[in-house]
A and B are shown apart, each in its own frame.
Chain A
Amino acid sequence: MNNREVMEERNEAKTLFGFWTYLMTDCVLFASLFATFAVLRHNTFGGPGGAELFNLPFVLAETLILLTSSFTCGLGMLYANRGFKNISLALFSVTFLLGASFLGLELHEFHKLAIEGNSWRRSGFLSAFFTLVGTHGAHISAGLIWMIVMITRVNLKGLTPRNLQRLKMLSMFWHFLDVVWIFIFSIVYLFGVI
């Protein structure tokens, strides 16, 4: 290994650490939204609460889709590390499709709530709900755009060291969003109906 390779490896380690640090600050953002939700969850202002609004089987489907996408993303990264470009691209494409269906289901749920008169304007509980779940959805949208960019880049330029580094950050981001969803599923939806 010559000097340049050593330098590049150090730079990559720094970049990945920087990205991880960003994810942890994002974690603090979600913590504040969870805190807001926890404080406001009973403030329904005479409107419906979680038990009336949430369709649990629907949310379970969302959860399983996102979990599977996190799994295929991890596998995609694994094959990218081993240099299998086509398998990796296929797995990231599956991840994209699963992520897009998750987002579609979430938007469908939001739309249904809104047209039934239960938008974020209805009560403190619903404001907190839409902010927390919507922020997660916004992250998912950003992740999906990023994924299209990376699939295109890898397709054009192959698994170059820089592309691999970007893929690593993308997969960290995607796994992180699935971890956040575990808590949205448990705290917002499961606690909401019991």
Chain B
Amino acid sequence: MENKPHKSSHNHDTHTPSVSSYVGGFILSLILTLTAYFLVQRHVSTEHTAISHGVLVFMITLLALIQLLVQLTFFLHVDTEKKPRWNLTVMLMALVFLVIVVLGSIWIMNNLNYHMDSNQDQINKYIRSQGDL
């Protein structure tokens, strides 16, 4: 049974991935992680003056999303799935849920803070006034 390397694995990934695909994915992930890290490191060490806050947040988000695609391709082989692509379908549905949950929560809570017209100091003061914490 030990030497049965042939076609038994082709339903998850249509062609057997190669070592070089994993090495490539690993190196790309390393580069993306280190780039994000050094961008932030430089930002902190230059007293937050190197790049504007918004640009930095955008760049880190972008680097994380690229790394997501890299690992989905090279490690999880989502792209080589045969039709009908059920794995991909379920993943896209999970992504829809994810976006609704995350963006929806942030939107609602920011909106709530806006309408309550309260800042963090006032909230803390209120919580403290409610008793020993």
Tell me which residues across on chain B come within 8 A of A102, comparing CB atoms.
Answer: none
A20 with B22, Cβ < 8 A, contacts A39-B105, A67-B33, A164-B8 known: no
A82 at the interface (CB under 8 A from B): yes
Tell whether A186 pairs with B64 under 8 Å between CB atoms, given A56-B37, A70-B75: yes
A31 nearest CB across to chain B (Å): 4
A36 touches B105 (CB 8 A): yes
A57: shortest Cβ distance to chain B, in Å?
A: 9
**CA–CA, A28 and B29, complex, Å:** 23
A125 CB → nearest B CB, Å = 11
- In the complex, per-residue mask of A19-33: 1 if CB is within 8 Å of any chain B CB, else 0: 011001101100110
Instruction: Point out the residues of chain A lying under 8 angstroms from B1, CB to CB.
Output: 158-161
Q: Assess the B102–A24 pair: CB atoms within 8 A.
A: no
Chain A hits for B56, CB < 8 A: 194
Q: How large is the interface on A (under 10, 10 to 19, 20 to 34, 35 or more residues)?
A: 35 or more
Of A109-117, A131-139, A176-184, the segment with at least 4 beta carbons within 8 Å of chain B is A176-184
Residues of B within 8 A of A99 (CB): none
**Which residues from B are CB-within-8-Å of A85?**
2
CB atoms of A70 and B71 under 8 A apart: yes
A residues 38-90 touching B (CB-CB < 8 Å)? 38-39, 42-43, 45-46, 56, 60, 63-64, 67-68, 70-71, 74-75, 78, 81-83, 85
CB neighbours of B2 from chain A (8 A): 83, 85, 158-159
- Residue of chain B at shortest CB distance from A179: B71
Verify B94–A27 contact, CB threshold 8 A.
yes
Q: Are A83 and B102 in contact (CB under 8 A)?
A: no
> Which residue numbers of B lie inside 8 Å of A, CB to CB?
1-5, 8-9, 11-12, 16-19, 22-23, 25-26, 29-30, 33, 36-37, 40-41, 43-44, 48, 53, 56-57, 60-61, 63-64, 67-68, 71-72, 74-76, 86-87, 90-91, 93-94, 97-98, 101-102, 104-106, 109, 120, 123-124, 127
